[in-house]
Chain A
């Protein structure tokens, strides 16, 4: 039986179709989840996709955090379910306090869309196990508020505990502290990532197919568990 990966659609989600496509290409079953419905439809893992949930009103991710579906997701994530937040999804994870820190306006003050080189630094999470440690990949990055910030103690702890999942190489596109592109929670099952692996799963449409490993990783981790 194939692994069921839920993809949530909030009002204003944009990359939900892309995330579902990536799950399918990786060999999983993509299950559409609706923001207003607490039912997680027996999924094994969940992706919060990119976009502008609730128009980014108030603060990016601040309103989505209170959507009914998030009650169930937070509960399951705290019990160990793999959960990946991409871009706006990362912002929602921070607003939900599943991950520490916050995403702030890019230091350039411009929205930035580019093919971004990253180094994968943590391969113990269910979303990155298919990478080799230190592997360099290129996937799209596109955000207006992607600067990762946290207090120094938190940043030190993230580094010390190996919870920096991916780091920007060559160019820091948004002023993120310590070039951080993605982090994991203490348990490792919840990962937030600013760049977009779901846009790098086909050579036809992406700058590479490096992104697919995030999705194959979680499928294997579920089969293995």
Chain B
């Protein structure tokens, strides 16, 4: 097999290269030739093509994502900002927390089990590469209709993959979302979030500092998995016709990842590492170019030293391979023996593949021949940037004009009771325990709250009780009706969920799932959503610490609902003060905080009962959200609340059902006189929460809400009876509610 070398490239400028097949546009290919002032070698072409792919370079989203930095609220909490593997937040007492959410959508459609499994593996390595011990994972998931045949193929595989990989790593799965909508058929969304913690002094960055330091590749051997997966798989749609581009997705080995975690934490804690980077999309190409670009600027790699699973791989394939469970560390020569010893202890293979230098070039040799000689910044950070054209879709006005006013509403007691039983069994509102019981939520012994609670909560410091809470949310229907408001509603909901658990919201991550950026209407949705999120984060004082963009989530011309998943992280000084959603003692008073309006645009009721999507989403008021969160946190910290639960999908009725089923006791419900019962039960007005206090604490609650300007109304009393009694309207037993709420997923997925 002949090798394409730099020397050869210099004397054969006319040699034709398959740049289009690798996903590069003609002008991008020309740009590479201009940078190198010759044609690229095939290895260089491989590197540029993966690193300049949408997935790695954010070329279509960059101009919009800048707002997250430009509009960032002033805060001292951010220790490491956007641009690193994951942002790092100061939570006090010398502790720092890092968290991030990433998509693994396309691989999970092609091969649900492995796609979802390797999604977990990748995000866990991102967290480790900041120097943190991974503590927990969460999975925001989106599927096609629950009863669609393809959902029956995709969902069980994805759930089994998340469980099969995550359970084996010893990381508790503490929450997430499962949402069904017809737009996701053919394009399930598999987002994976990981949170980790470290002491401030243990923060590490992906940079190759120190001339003469060694580049060590360790972990699994390099094989032929997912070659070109990043650029090809993640950047082309699954359209009918045309050449198919579906190379193999990666295969995960969670046992190897577990050993990699332990070995990595040992070498980090022993101070043996100068810089560290995980290998994910674009493999060695990405790791070496980013490390070099962030460090001294120069690196030499002996590519033939890479340990291989398949000896027949070409250098181009080795550079592009996305084999899982690999990391790259920058190690001082005098510390190398101890580094290798620690890896050997955990049966992790390691090999020196390169050296840091001051050449300003990334050079790669293959058996003595130079096959890559490039300025690393041009690969890693100076890729193309596009100002994609965008415009408001012509159908947007008609969609917003098609309100829910004409939809038939239940009025009588029996009608409302029937609607409630139908709603609690709706796939989007039904119990998700069929899924979450396949995940280990207990391992590590620090899980304070997990699904179905509003937020997942993890204890970080056993001696003080310091902990964090995380929630992820997004209602794609709201985002379709108004992408700007939809992104803010996602932010508001996650923010409220964290506050309802008793933690103070601190920082934001996101996973922006959209259709094709080459469609100006999709690009408008993306531009609006990012603008809305950036403005919202500024108002709430919660900076975006990092995130991920997933484009091309569409089948043919049909894009998914715009789905900007927002994750909010909060801090809690002592996890013992957290508040659960389960109410307890009979006689305790139930209050609804916030205003309820006749808002049904994009609601679950309109969706499930009428199959309708139109009108405007609920009005978002972030100042009100902030005031509400202050009440929720104060009421929790002071021990005033017996229980708290945020109000969102399905409205107050869904909240009361969930609180009752969690507690195993019912309540007498009072419909506020000013509200139509149907609106009270099912409207999805935002900025609301239900809290439960003992009768003696009601005065304190009224004072607290009065001070913050948060309206409240008493809506019931916890009872000892196993039923929800809606006074004059109807009464429904918890047994009936539980049966309906819990049967949906098992009946669909067995």
Say yes or no: is A66 at the interface (Cβ < 8 Å to chain B): no
Is B346 located at the chain interface by the 8 A CB criterion? yes
- The reply to whether B440 and A11 form a contact with Cβ atoms under 8 Å apart is no
Most buried by A among B255, B436, B441: B255
B346 contacts A17, C-beta separation under 8 Å: no
Among the stretches A89-97, A107-115, A150-158, A180-188, the one at the interface with B is A107-115
Q: Does B437 contact A (CB under 8 A)?
A: yes
If A11-B346, A111-B438 touch, whether A51 touches B170 (CB-CB below 8 Å) is yes
B259 and A205 contact, CB distance less than 8 A:
no
CA distance A21 to B255 in the complex (A): 23
B502 at the A/B interface (Cβ < 8 Å)? no
Complex interface: stretch among B199-207, B395-403, B445-453: B445-453
Q: Which of A12, A202, A205 contacts B168 (CB 8 A)?
A: A12
B313 at the interface (CB under 8 A from A): no
Nearest CB on B from A194, distance (A): 14
Asked whether B253 lies within 8 Å of A55 as measured between CB atoms, the reply is yes
The answer to whether A11 touches B253 (Cβ under 8 A) is: no
Q: Flag A154-183 by CB within 8 Å of B: 1 or 0 each.
A: 000000000000000000000000000000
**Would you call B255 and A18 a contact (CB within 8 A)?**
no
Contact B442 A113 (CB under 8 A): yes
Asked if residues A196 and B442 are in contact (CB atoms below 8 Å), the reply is: yes
Distance in angstroms from B538 CB to nearest chain A CB is 35
Closest residue on chain B to residue A207 by CB atoms:
B442
Residue among A54, A56, A113, A199 having the largest count of chain B Cβ atoms under 10 Å:
A113
Question: 8 tightest A-B contacts by CB?
Answer: A55-B255, A14-B170, A199-B442, A18-B445, A140-B442, A52-B168, A111-B438, A142-B440
Of chain A, the residue at the smallest CB distance from B443 is A14
The answer for the CA separation of A203 and B163 in the assembled complex, in Å, is 25
- Cβ–Cβ < 8 Å partners of A199 in chain B: 442-443, 445
Residues of B within 8 A of A196 (CB): 442
- The yes or no answer to A204 lying at the interface (CB within 8 A) is yes
Name A52's closest neighbour in chain B (CB-CB).
Answer: B168
Tell me, yes or no, whether B575 is within 8 Å of chain A by CB: yes
Q: Chain A 9-23, CB within 8 Å of chain B: the 1/0 string?
A: 001101101100100
Determine the distance from Cα of A56 to Cα of B254 in the docked complex, in whole angstroms: 11
Least distance between B624 CB and chain A CB atoms (Å) = 32
A-B contact pairs, 17 of them (CB 8 A): A11-B255, A11-B259, A15-B443, A17-B444, A21-B445, A52-B167, A55-B255, A55-B256, A56-B168, A110-B160, A110-B437, A110-B438, A111-B164, A204-B448, A205-B446, A205-B448, A206-B442
Name the B residues within 8 Å of A51 (CB-CB): 170
- The complex places the Cα of A50 from the Cα of B440 at a distance, in Å, of 12
Q: With A14-B170, A113-B437, A204-B576 as given contacts, are A142 and B442 in contact (CB-CB < 8 Å)?
A: yes
Residue from A17, A54, A113 within 8 A of B445 (CB atoms): A17
Residue of B nearest to A140 (CB): B442
Identify the B interface with A (CB < 8 A).
160, 163-164, 167-170, 253-256, 258-259, 346-347, 436-448, 459, 462, 575-576
A111-B575 contact given A55-B253, A205-B447, CB 8 Å threshold: no
CA distance A114 to B450 in the complex (A): 12
Closest-CB distance, B280 to chain A (whole angstroms): 21
Question: Considering the chains assembled together, what is the distance between the CA atoms of A110 and B438 in angstroms?
Answer: 7
Query: Contact check: which of B254, B439, B446 meets A55 at CB < 8 Å?
Result: B254
| CA–CA, A124 and B410, complex, Å | 61
Chain A residues with CB under 8 A of B258? 11-12, 14, 52
Shortest CB-to-CB span from A110 to chain B, Å, is 5
Chain A positions within 8 Å of B436 at CB level: 113
| Docked complex Cα distance between A112 and B440 (Å) | 8
In the complex, residue of chain B having the shortest beta-carbon distance to the beta carbon of A199: B442
Given A11-B346, A12-B168, A55-B255, also A205-B437 (CB < 8 A): no
Specify which chain A residues have a CB less than 8 angstroms from the CB of B459 in the assembled complex: 204-205
Q: How far is the CA of A144 from the CA of B160 in the complex (A)?
A: 11
- A202 / chain B contacts, CB cutoff of 8 Å: 445
Asked if A18 and B443 sit within 8 Å, CB to CB, the answer is: yes
Q: Complex formed: what's the CA distance from A11 to B344 in Å?
A: 12
Residues of A within 8 A of B448 (CB): 204-205
Nearest residue, chain B, Cβ from A115: B442
Contact residues in B for A54 (Cβ distance below 8 Å) = 255
A14-B258, A111-B160, A142-B442 are known; give 17 further A-B pairs, CB within 8 A: A14-B170, A15-B443, A17-B445, A21-B462, A52-B167, A52-B168, A55-B255, A56-B168, A111-B438, A111-B440, A112-B437, A113-B442, A142-B167, A201-B445, A204-B448, A204-B576, A206-B442
Bound complex: CA A61 to CA B448 (Å):
30
Choose among B169, B254, B444 the residue with the greatest number of A CB atoms under 10 Å from its CB: B444
B467 closest partner in A (C-beta): A204
Asked whether A210 is an interface residue with its Cβ less than 8 Å from the other chain, the reply is no
Nearest B-chain residue to A112, judged by Cβ: B437
Q: Identify which of residues 175-225 in chain A touch chain B, using a CB-to-CB cut-off of 8 Å.
A: 196, 198-199, 201-202, 204-206
Are B441 and A55 in contact, with the CB atoms below 8 A? Answer: no
CA distance A197 to B160 in the complex (A): 25
For the complex, give the distance between the alpha carbons of A18 and B440 in Å: 14
Asked whether B168 lies within 8 Å of A113 as measured between CB atoms, the reply is no
A55 to B163 alpha-carbon distance, docked (Å): 14
A37 vs B259: C-alpha distance in the bound complex, in angstroms?
Answer: 18
- Cα–Cα, bound, A223→B445 (Å): 27
When A111-B164, A142-B440 are in contact, do A12 and B255 touch as well, CB less than 8 Å? yes
Contacts of B170 on A, CB cut-off 8 Å? 14-15, 51
**Complex CA distance for A110 and B444, rounded to whole angstroms:** 22
Nearest-neighbour CB distance to chain A for B77, whole angstroms, equals 25
Residue of B nearest to A18 (CB): B445
Q: Are B439 and A113 in contact (CB under 8 A)?
A: yes
Closest to B749 in A: A110
Give complex CA distance A162, B575 in Å.
42
Q: In whole angstroms, what is the CA distance A202 to B442 when docked? A: 12
Cβ contact within 8 Å between B346 and A198: no
* B446 cross-chain contacts in A, Cβ below 8 A: 205
Complex interface: chain B residues within 8 A of A18 (CB): 442-445
**Given A12-B255, A55-B253, do A205 and B441 touch, yes or no (CB 8 Å)?**
no
CB distance from B138 to the nearest CB of A (A): 15
Query: CA A57 – CA B576 in complex, angstroms?
Result: 39
A126 to chain B minimum Cβ distance, whole angstroms, is: 23
**Chain A CB within 10 Å, residue with most, of B160, B167, B459, B575:** B167
Residues in B neighbouring A17, C-beta threshold 8 A: 444-445
Rounded to whole Å, the gap between the CB of B443 and the closest CB of chain A is: 5
Query: Would you call B254 and A204 a contact (CB within 8 A)?
Result: no
Q: A196 to B438, alpha carbons, bound, how many Å?
A: 16
Residues of chain A lying within 8 A (CB to CB) of residue B575: 204
In the assembled complex, the Cα of A206 lies from the Cα of B576 at a distance in Å of: 13
Given that A11-B259, A14-B170 are contacting pairs, would A114 and B445 also be in contact in the complex, using a CB cutoff of 8 Å? no
* A contact residues around B169 at 8 Å (CB): 14
What residues on B are CB-neighbors of A55 within 8 Å? 168, 253-256
Bound-state Cα–Cα, A63 to B439, Å: 25
The complex places the Cα of A129 from the Cα of B729 at a distance, in Å, of: 54
B445 lies within 8 A of A11 (CB): no
- Tell me the bound Cα distance from A27 to B98 in angstroms: 34
Q: A21 to chain B: which residues have CB within 8 Å?
A: 445, 462
**Alpha-carbon gap, A50 to B170, bound state (A):** 10
Give Cα A225–Cα B474 distance, bound, in whole angstroms. 60
Q: A198 contacts B164, CB within 8 Å?
A: no
Q: Scan residues 42-75 of chain A and give those whose CB is less than 8 A from a CB of chain B.
A: 50-52, 54-57
Rounded to whole angstroms, the CA-CA distance of A113 and B433 in the bound complex is: 10
Contact at B255–A112, with CB atoms within 8 Å? no
Within 8 A of B (CB), among A95-119: 110-114
Q: Which residues of B contact A198 (CB under 8 A)?
A: 445
Roughly how many angstroms separate A130 CA and B609 CA in the complex, as a whole number?
55
Complex: chain A residue closest to B447, CB-CB: A205
In the complex formed, the residue of A with least CB distance to B441 is: A113
- Report the separation of the CA atoms of residues A18 and B447 in the bound assembly, to the nearest whole angstrom: 12
CB distance from A107 to the nearest CB of B (A): 13
- Whole-angstrom distance between the Cβ of A179 and the nearest chain B Cβ: 19
- B439 adjacent to A11 (CB under 8 Å): no
CB of B255 within 8 A of CB of A57, answer yes
Nearest-neighbour CB distance to chain B for A14, whole angstroms, equals 3
